[in-house]
Amino acid sequence: MVIRFLDLALEHSMEAWAVSIGVVALAEIGDKTQLLTLVLAARYAKPWPIVAGVVVATLVNHGIAGAVGAWLTEVIGPDAMRWILGASFVAMAAWMLKPDKLGDDVGTSRKIGGVFVTTTFLFFLVEIGDKTQIATVALAARFDSLVAVVMGTTVGMVLANAPVAFFGEALAKRLPVRAVHLVAALVFVALGVGVLVVG
């Protein structure tokens, strides 16, 4: 009985982890934070501190977002939350089709400390209210596995941003951003329908 419970918990955590990686990696392509990574890579040409800053900023930002999602599920209750989540995922799908731009104020920001500190600070700020942060709130509310969701969304962010930090504009220009956004939108619609139909 205990082993079966642990197997189910592990399976649920793996599903949360895998879905979180895929959704955020797709949503991050062409996103403001990926554009910020491109700006930082062009300015400093130091990919390792940039990637480290992305990891730390994402863990903190998505940790907070995930905690909010888990808290909302408890406060609102599972029945109402199912409808809110379904609508949220469909709204995220529509948002994915709107291209992002990096504000001039962020793009021209001066160095705050070293490259790592600058990246961590700017990435955390730009991620506030961003698609991937909102997706993390929704994923944490959908899956009862906060750690798996936050770790998954962080891995997704690194998968999308590390190549840009290392290979910069040459890679960013080759990415089929529109096609990736369309796939991400379809994934969000599928998640929304799944929540509404299956529960």
Which residues touch 159 (CB under 8 Å, ≥6 apart)?
A: 21, 25
Mean per-residue pLDDT over the chain, rounded: 85
Contact 14, 78 (CB under 8 A): no
Return the structure tokens found at 189.
């619609």
Instruction: Specify the range with the lowest mean pLDDT, choosing from 37-41, 54-58, 141-145, 167-171.
Output: 167-171
Return the structure tokens found at 198.
């299956």
pLDDT tens, position by position, 156-166: 999 999 999 99
pLDDT tops 60 at residue 136: yes
pLDDT tops 50 at residue 2: no
Tell me how many degrees the CA angle 28-34-40 measures, rounded to the nearest 5.
165
Q: What is the mean pLDDT of residues 9-21?
A: 84
pLDDT tens, position by position, 31-78: 889 889 988 998 888 999 999 999 999 999 999 999 999 999 889 887
Output the CA–CA distances (angstroms, integers) from residue 183 to 5, 25, 68, 149, 197, in the order listed: 34, 11, 27, 20, 21
Output the CA–CA distances (angstroms, integers) from residue 36 to 27, 127, 129, 151, 164, in the order listed: 15, 10, 15, 21, 10
pLDDT tens, position by position, 86-113: 898 888 888 888 877 766 555 545 567 7
